[in-house]
Structure 1
Amino acid sequence: MTKVVPVILCGGAGTRLWPLSRAKYPKQFVEFEKGENLFKTTVARARKLVHCKPIIVCNEAHKYYAQRNLNELSQESQIIVEPFSRNTAPAIAVGALTAYESDKDAILFVMPSDHAIQGEEIFKRALKQAVNLAERNYLVTFGITPNKPETGYGYIQGGDSIDNLGFKVEKFIEKPKRENAEGMINQGGYYWNSGMFVFKARVFLEEIKQFNPSIYNCCYEAMEGITENNGFISPKNEYYEMCPSDSIDYSVMEKTKKAAVVPLNIMWNDLGSWSSFHKVGKKDENGNVRVGDTLLLETTGSYIHSTNQIIATIGMRDVAVVADKDAVLVSSLNRVQEVKTIVKYLKEKKRNEANLPPVVHRPWGTYESLARGECYQTKRIIVFPGQCLSLQLHHHRSEHWTIVKGTAEITLGDSVREYSKNQSIYIPVETIHRLKNNTSDNVILIEVQCGDYLGEDDIVRLEDIYNRA
């Protein structure tokens, strides 16, 4: 097979999967099963299908999640960091420009990072057909063979056959009403729009330049002369900010005469809601999908997910119960799409539960708030091997650090010394400090903050190896 470059898009917010998915911890990185997430699964799938170093396109807020997951998979990649979210057309455009810079004949295999797919051998055969069409300068999308009149997906109508490899696209259909979806299923020749594509980088760039020159020009200028820095490729802010925010379907696929569709008869789900997780999950004898510590009495047809504490239900039917450490969702399964309304309310009230997960990831490790009250907060902090916090100070709070595991090098003013398990240090207000982990094991500490303001923005970074200073 021709060398194909995967372009994996992971810019989605996944607000309908709250409370596990948050604005700064979207669904593709959430561990719905221990040690596994959708991003890792997508990267592993791409590696099996095309055996080529992928291009990852992600948001600024999520770049370290992507990098850490790729390191865990021992997967080399190029990571393009969007300074602003700009929908799929610009994301694919910067990926295409990057691939084209290295190989003028590059064929891209574009896929979202948050879909559930089963049927690898069928997919491999369909991909081979799509690459064959891409070599003939078609812009190819995969159309999922529908098994019911789904109203939550867009549809593609296939037209004339192209040498038994696929079909020319007759038209794209927005998410239909149920009666229209039923009509398309009965008629045949219609497919769910999967959001996965195969095409030459050159051909895609030519088409987007023709049909949406603003996107092309902004992306071209944003990527001109860009080099990799600390493992990341960052488009220039001033040009990317001006880029229109449009989907690939609207910008290119609905306008081009080169669109083709390859049918794909596999299990596919975009996992856009908790009902989707119930649909694809392994069910018990009562039709329940259970994740984590659960006790279900006379409960049927439900999705119950616990990340920490036990969830017990009695006499429930067709519900979703999802519990994180700081928030619990209870909803009828047929109304879980409305979770985005709750997220909108939480954002309007500036509640942390809308944006930050209980365990917050940083490039150096993680922190978790254990207790908070008037003028104090307690955190559990983990610093990964070889990582360090920025050299910093705080204007409004003092801190007490107690090491509970490992050995850390701590800077306090002009002093630098090592602290180990059971040792503590007091950091007064406006005192320069830093913690380094020079060992091969995690350092774990308990931090107690005291002060009249405890916000995360009360950090003055003087030096930072992650370029946040």
Structure 2
Amino acid sequence: MSKEIVPLVICGGAGTRLWPSSREVRPKQFLPLFGERSTFQETLLRVSDPDLFGRAIIITNTAYRFMVLEQLAEIGIEADVLLEPERRDSGPAIVAGAAFAQTRDVGAIVLALAADHVVRDTEAFATACRQALAAAQGGAIVTFGVAPERPASEYGYIRPGDAVMGEVRSVVQFVEKPDAATAETYVRDGYFWNSGNFMFKSSVLLDEYRAVDPDSVQLVTDAVTQAGGDLGFVTLDPAAFGAAKPISIDYAVMEKTKRAAVVPVSCGWSDVGSWRAVWELSNKDEHGNAAQGMAVFEDSRNCNVATDGALVALEGVDDLVVVVTEDAVLVSRQNDANGLKRLVTKLKKVAPQVTEEHPKVHRPWGSYQSLDNGQRHQVKRIVVKAGGRLSLQKHHHRSEHWIVVRGTAQVTLDDMTKIVHENESIYIPIGAVHRLENPGKILLELIEVQTGSYLGEDDIIRIEDDYRRS
């Protein structure tokens, strides 16, 4: 019987509850909301003790694959990364993870975790994992029930029953998000918050899912057995995975199974589902104001500021959220998460680019950021990682001028290869075949000035590419 827990980290979702910082192309699980590391990285570090946890499995969207690798490398953790060809909600994602875990160990015990949650007490969390392990080995599907810190109406609840094994108890009922008065009743009656994290034997989870939706389990299992490989990723078969029914694991299994159990945990948990949640988890001054970035407060209380660079000054206001990115500013009431949801719905109609795109675009070789746009020109800051290189490419409608401001560039220009140092530049004419590489040990940073009749990203003809995009 397996004594090692296999972490399965679900990080393929895209949300805008923390707009404008969180966007479709860079959702909140990859953002450093509370320091230098993202919640995705903190989740992996939380399950990195080799005495308790095995090699992690990560399931993510194809669009995030290089972000996942970059953030794994930053914390020195290796994992198996499964790529969903399309989003099908948490049910099929967890089935895929369980089926893949069985290819490594038929008796695998899997811990399914959301990548965008915060746990402030990692020791308490590890203790709960040890308590859940024996019950999962015995055939229970164990959810982590968080001891409520307040009567929250933004979480689902679990009504616990009798003891099953040690601290683990049976589940009498899962209940949806309540109104404020009902939430107070639930807290008084000993209900737990439903954290949405689970531990189970992979075979048990698949059997319970198969009992309610055998076709989807077969399709997702086929997607795993027929998976391909690409640059070290496991690419789930698109036809099989895409045919599975999209549904959450709660609706598919947890609300139907007789094997549900709950382990109580008090670990400073939050799903960081709103800017208010970010404020609650942040350090504050004596007036309750929190800031990430440059902020000055005068006669203001219980405000939350997040800024990418611009100084934010607040005077004579209370209970506000102010978030500043390079292309958007949010000013919102601290207590109205539903108001932000309505606002983002409206933005998706009138300005969809600010909910989907991000000023800083990540690529497998590094990143670029637009600094200035005109009718016939664009200025970008390009950063290339040590050893990274862009595709061999050409453009039909634009020329480019590169000025190196940090590091050393190796430039291929038609039949010529040239080294360009700091404070040097090179011109790329329209139609020239070219490539940019970083042969050095530090980041390469350059300013790119584009001029031409069309400056869209689709004016890139890739001739050769390390990342198979040509």
Structure 1 residues 351 and 255, CA, compared in 2 at 3 Å: closer, same or farther?
closer
State the distance in 2 between where 1:439 and 1:281 align: 38
Instruction: State the match for 1:294 in structure 2.
Output: 295
Aligned position for 1:65: 67
User: Matched residue of 1:195: which SS?
Assistant: strand
Match of 1:47 in 2: 48
Q: CA deviation at 1:20?
A: 0.9
Partner of residue 173 from structure 1, selected from 147, 169, 175: 175
Q: 1:223-246, CA deviations, whole angstroms, 9 ceiling, x for partnerless residues?
A: 114254322111011222222211
User: Partner residue of 1:389?
Assistant: 390
Match of 2:207 in 1: 206
| Equivalent position of 2:346 in the other structure | 345
1:371-392 residue CA offsets vs partner (Å, 9 max, x unmatched) = 1111111001011111110111
C-alpha distance in 1, partners of 2:452/2:385? 27
Distance 1:109-1:23 versus aligned 2 partners, 3 A rule: same
CA contact (8 A) 1:401 1:447 kept: yes
How far apart are residue 351 of structure 1 and its match? 4.2
Mapped partners of 1:50, 1:348: distance in 2:
47
**Counterpart-to-counterpart distance in 1, 2:218 and 2:53:** 31
Q: What amino acid does structure 2 have at the position aligned with 1:154?
A: G
- Correspondence for 1:154 among 140, 156, 168: 156
3-state DSSP of counterpart to 2:47: helix
The one-letter code sitting in structure 2 at the alignment partner of 1:132 is A
Take 2:202 and 2:462, find their aligned partners in 1: how far apart are those partners? Answer: 40
Q: How far apart, CA to CA, are the structure 2 residues paired with 1:24 and 1:50?
A: 33
1:275-297 CA-partner distances (Å, limit 9, x unpaired): 00111212210011122111100
Amino acid at match of 1:71: A
| CA 1:328–1:110: 2 relative to 1, 3 Å | same
Inter-partner Cα distance in structure 2 for 1:242 and 1:451: 44
**Residues 167, 264 of structure 2: 8 Å contact kept:** no
Q: What is the RMSD computed on CA atoms of the aligned residues?
A: 1.6
Q: Structure 1 residue 119: deviation in Å?
A: 2.1
- Give CA deviations for 1:22-51 in whole Å, capped at 9, x if unaligned: 110111111224422111111111113834
TM-score, L = length of structure 1: 0.96
1:263 paired residue number: 264
SS at match of 2:45: helix
Residue 403 of structure 2 aligns with an amino acid whose one-letter code is T
| Residue 135 of structure 1: aligned partner | 137
Say whether the 8 Å CA contact 1:14–1:272 is kept in structure 2. Answer: no
Query: Which residue type is aligned with residue 208 of structure 1?
Result: Y
Most deviating of 398-407 and 298-307: 398-407
Equivalent residue, structure 2, for 1:363: 364
In 2, are the aligned partners of 1:293 and 1:308 still within 8 Å (CA)?
yes
* Structure 2 unpaired stretches of 5+: none
Partner of 1:457: 458
Structure 2 letter corresponding to 1:126: A
- Corresponding letter in the other structure for 2:107: D
Question: SS at 2:345's partner residue?
Answer: helix
1:436 is aligned to 437
Separation (CA, whole Å) in 1 of partners of 2:186 and 2:280: 22
1:457/1:350 Cα in 2 relative to 1: closer, same or farther (>3 Å)? Answer: farther
Aligned partner of 1:111 in structure 2 is 113
* 1:6–1:50 CA contact under 8 A, matched in 2: no
Equivalent residue number for residue 468 of structure 1: 469
- Structure 1 stretches of 5 or more lacking a match? none
CA–CA distance in 2 between the matches of 1:218 and 1:430? Answer: 46
Separation in 2, partners of 1:54, 1:163: 26
| Amino acid across the alignment from 1:104 | V
The aligned counterpart of 2:186 is 184
What's the offset of the Cα at 1:58? 1.0
Aligned partner of residue 40 in structure 1, secondary structure: helix
One-letter amino acid of the counterpart of residue 284, structure 1: D
TM-score, normalised relative to structure 2: 0.96
Structure 1's 337 and 142: CA in aligned 2 closer, same or farther, altered over 3 A? same
The corresponding residue for 2:446 is 445
Q: Distance in 1 between matches of 2:183 and 2:307?
A: 35
Percent of matched pairs sharing the same residue? 40
Shift of 1:332: 0.6
| Alpha-carbon spacing, 1:9–1:378, altered in 2? closer, same or farther (3 Å) | same
SS in 2 for 1:66: helix
Distance change (3 Å), C-alpha of 1:464 and 1:322: same
Asked whether the equivalents of residues 228 and 236 of structure 2 are also in contact (C-alpha less than 8 Å), the reply is no
Deviation at 1:102, TM superposition (A): 0.7
Which residue type is aligned with residue 305 of structure 2? I
**Does the Cα contact within 8 Å between 1:16 and 1:337 map onto a contact in 2?**
no
Matches within 5 A, 1:306-325: 306-325=307-326
Count of equivalent residues: 468
CA distance in 2 between partners of 1:237 and 1:193 (Å): 32
Greater shift, 411-420 or 7-16, is seen at 411-420
In structure 1, what is the Cα distance between the partners aligned to 2:272 and 2:156? 15
Cα deviation for residue 273 of structure 1 reads 0.5
* Bigger mean CA offset, 169-178 vs 376-385: 169-178
- Structure 2 CA distance for partners of 1:261 and 1:206, relative to 1, 3 Å: same
The Cα of 1:217 is off from its aligned counterpart by 1.8
Counterpart residue number, 2:405? 404
